[in-house]
A and B are shown apart, each in its own frame.
Chain A
Amino acid sequence: MRVEVLEMAEGTGRGEALSIWFFVGVLTLLYGVVLLPYGAWAWFTHHEAPTVLNNLHPTFWWGLLLTVFGGFYTLRFRPRKGSSNKA
């Protein structure tokens, strides 16, 4: 199982420290970090855009989901010292 995980982490090439999944994590985390506070602001200050089902506060919940997903991938595949191409 451990071998599989390491294989998955292999990323952008020889001698590089950043995995593809790290990029996936960082971008989705960035989006989560942008959407989550905006969604919270829109929810709690009653500034929701006039979209259908805005009473479900999709920006907030989607932002939370992206933050959790992106945070997990960023942490899981973060570059570590002495483990180039493996993290």
Chain B
Amino acid sequence: MNQSPIGAVAALLLTRQLTTLSPIDILILVLYFVVVIFIGFYVKGSVNTSEEFFLAGREMTAWIAGLSFVSANLGSLELMGWAGAAYQYGILATHWYWIGAIPAMLFLGIVMMPFYYISKTHSVPGYLQLRFGEGARGLSAVSFGLMTILMSGVNMYAMALVMKVILGWNISFSIWVGAITVAIYVMLGGLRSAIINEVLQFVLIWAGAALIPILGLVEAGGWTNLKAQIAKNVGSTDYTHMWTTLGHFKDNPMGVHWTGIVFGLGFVVSFGYWTTDFLVVQRVLSANNLRAAKMAPVIGAAFKMAVPFIVIVPGLLALAVLKNPDGSVLHLVGENMVNAQHPYSYNEVLPLMLIRYCGPGLLGLGITALVAGFMSGMAGNVSAFSTVWTYDIYGAFFNKKASDKHYVAMGRWSTVIGMLVSIATAYLVANAASIMDYVQALFSFFIAPLFGTVVLGMLWKRATKAGGFWGLLLGTASSIGMWIYTTYGGAAALARIALSSDARPMAETLYRALWSWIICVGVTVVVSFMTKPTPEAELAGLVYGATIIPDDGATSLFQKPIFWAIIVIIVFFILNIVFF
């Protein structure tokens, strides 16, 4: 999962602009908007039932669901933030794409997806309702709905700020044009048009960004020369090794230990995000059969492994090739250190590299890729919000017996209302930037405990309704408590939570996730043993051991999701060894 540098990108509060668009660039951007709006109107005709609106009719193939799954997470702020992180921390940032994503995606596909899929749930809170009752569903639906819509607003503002920095666009113009376009196509076509646009966006991001690493590696003279130049420019070889510097918190610029990366990021944070965040899981639920639902995350994982090429490599290239006009090395700095001597920040790496290699036309393509990423991120948030609102809040607590048509209308309306709340959040953040940090912290409170609850629910028959509810509640509360403690408790608090006084905030997030997950699991286990077991008949289709998992229809080795998952994990290990 990759979220944390978003706030840093959004802090690009500068008054200048990096470049301007020529007519051909504007033509490319306009073509994108025309196609996107056309898709919304085109798809509308076949979106009539709630299943079609909220789950794209459950008829997406593995490839489409898989690309959409990985694309929903590949927003433009992700790209810019992690390119900046690669400049700042070196190749360590790749962990958020490999160990921080691949094992979790494969686990979702092979182990968890059958339960999500055969339970016929519409959402992750919906699964919690089936397994743990209304309390757990209400808690996760309200927290997810609130966070999703707030995050959408934060992203909206951050992207408008990026457009202002790169192109000098007015903030309100970017917010309203993006929001209205997304609202139109999601309201008309629901998840189906969101998914089509995510697949388009995935192709566009590669079309717009792949030239940067290609030309950059040509300029640097290949990977070996790039490593040598980085070592010369920064005076250390640490920037191009993924594991050798993780022996101690002090040995790497991220201030993190390998246990934090492996257990905190690789296990809890990553599994929490990729297996329980409904924004991404919803894409896989749209698959047209069980095999497609299992294959989609495997396909997504294969593509996810390639993303560092267009995100991390440009950040590393910048360490080697960016120069001042006098030929000296150009140093990028933190947001708060930008001045006349150091005019650019880390987070401007991607735009700087784009401008370095791309003239008119290609620049428009790169900007379109950023805009597409931004819009599809918003569409993802809004479509997930409208589903959870309609099924798990409105349909569960306010109006249980409405017609299907009524729920579709509610889905369309909640899309518009959700978008308006996002816009209001964007303006709120514009006036008080610190709100953004709080919203992101809020998001981190729920993910790890939710994973504890869902995974125990799926794999352990003895987990009871009360266990699930109290585990989720106390896990979340403990995460909030630790966050308050480390935010206001100074270095001593940080040292206790992250196990070292040398730990940095990034490490704090990883360890806090780990502890809150352990607390959630511990509480669930203890409360479950203290309460009456759920009869096994009620667990059919929901829990491992109480469910006969239907055959996924694979007839040959090449059709088996597990075969491709093994291939992906082998490549994953090879890559980690190559860049060790």
Is A34 on the interface with B (CB-CB < 8 A)?
yes
Q: Are A52 and B357 in contact (CB under 8 A)?
A: yes
Q: Are B361 and A23 in contact (CB under 8 A)?
A: no
Q: How far is the CB of B296 from chain A (nearest CB, A)?
A: 13
Q: Are A20 and B199 in contact (CB under 8 A)?
A: yes
Is A49 on the interface with B (CB-CB < 8 A)?
yes
A: interface residue count bin: 35 or more
Q: Which residues of B contact A63 (CB under 8 A)?
A: 361
Interface residues of B (CB under 8 A from A): 24, 27-28, 31-32, 35, 39, 42-43, 45-47, 52, 56-57, 59-61, 63-64, 192, 195-196, 199-200, 203-204, 207, 211, 215, 218-219, 288, 321, 355-362, 365
Q: Which residues of B contact A50 (CB under 8 A)?
A: 359
Residue of B nearest to A25 (CB): B203
Q: Are A13 and B57 in contact (CB under 8 A)?
A: yes
Q: How far is the CA of A56 from the CA of B192 in the complex (A)?
A: 40
Q: How far is the CB of B383 from chain A (nearest CB, A)?
A: 15
Q: Are B288 and A10 in contact (CB under 8 A)?
A: yes
Q: Are A53 and B46 in contact (CB under 8 A)?
A: no
Q: How far is the CB of B352 from chain A (nearest CB, A)?
A: 11
Secondary structure class of chain A's binding surface, majority of residues: helix
Q: Are A12 and B196 in contact (CB under 8 A)?
A: yes
Is A35 on the interface with B (CB-CB < 8 A)?
yes
Task: Encode contact with B along A18-53: 1 for CB under 8 Å, 0 otherwise.
Answer: 101001101110110011001100100000111111
Q: Which residues of A contact B59 (CB under 8 A)?
A: 10, 13-14
Q: Are B359 and A54 in contact (CB under 8 A)?
A: yes
Known: A51-B355, A52-B321. 10 other contacts (CB 8 A): A12-B42, A13-B56, A14-B57, A20-B199, A28-B207, A31-B28, A38-B24, A52-B356, A58-B358, A58-B362
Q: Are B359 and A49 in contact (CB under 8 A)?
A: yes
Is A62 on the interface with B (CB-CB < 8 A)?
yes
Is A75 on the interface with B (CB-CB < 8 A)?
no
Task: Check A8/B61 contact, CB under 8 A, given A38-B24, A53-B215.
Answer: yes
Q: Are B357 and A31 in contact (CB under 8 A)?
A: no
Is A87 on the interface with B (CB-CB < 8 A)?
no
Interface residues of A (CB under 8 A from B): 7-8, 10, 12-16, 18, 20, 23-24, 26-28, 30-31, 34-35, 38-39, 42, 48-54, 56, 58-59, 62-63, 66
Q: Are A24 and B203 in contact (CB under 8 A)?
A: yes
Q: How far is the CA of A27 from the CA of B37 in the complex (A)?
A: 13
Q: Which residues of B contact A31 (CB under 8 A)?
A: 28, 31, 207, 365
Residue of B nearest to A6 (CB): B61
The one of B52, B56, B192, B215 in contact with A52, judged by C-beta atoms closer than 8 angstroms, is B215
Q: Are A24 and B28 in contact (CB under 8 A)?
A: no
Q: Are B211 and A62 in contact (CB under 8 A)?
A: yes
Q: Can you name 22 A-B pairs with beta carbons within 8 Å?
A: A13-B52, A13-B56, A16-B43, A20-B195, A20-B196, A23-B39, A27-B35, A27-B204, A34-B24, A38-B24, A39-B361, A48-B359, A49-B360, A51-B358, A53-B215, A53-B218, A58-B211, A58-B215, A58-B357, A59-B362, A62-B207, A62-B365
Q: How far is the CA of A51 from the CA of B196 in the complex (A)?
A: 34
Residue of B nearest to A48 (CB): B359
Q: Are B31 and A30 in contact (CB under 8 A)?
A: yes
Q: Are B215 and A20 in contact (CB under 8 A)?
A: no
Task: Check A59/B357 contact, CB under 8 A, given A13-B57, A34-B27.
Answer: no
Q: How far is the CB of B532 from chain A (nearest CB, A)?
A: 45
Residue of A nearest to B203 (CB): A24
The one of A12, A49, A62 in contact with B46, judged by C-beta atoms closer than 8 angstroms, is A12
Q: How far is the CB of A43 from chain B (nearest CB, A)?
A: 11
Residue of A nearest to B292 (CB): A7
Q: Are B362 and A35 in contact (CB under 8 A)?
A: yes
Q: Are A51 and B35 in contact (CB under 8 A)?
A: no
Q: Which residues of B contact A8 (CB under 8 A)?
A: 61, 63
Q: Which residues of A contact B39 (CB under 8 A)?
A: 12, 23
Q: How far is the CA of A13 from the CA of B395 in the complex (A)?
A: 26
Q: Are A23 and B200 in contact (CB under 8 A)?
A: yes
The one of A13, A23, A49 in contact with B35, judged by C-beta atoms closer than 8 angstroms, is A23
Q: How far is the CA of A73 from the CA of B458 in the complex (A)?
A: 40
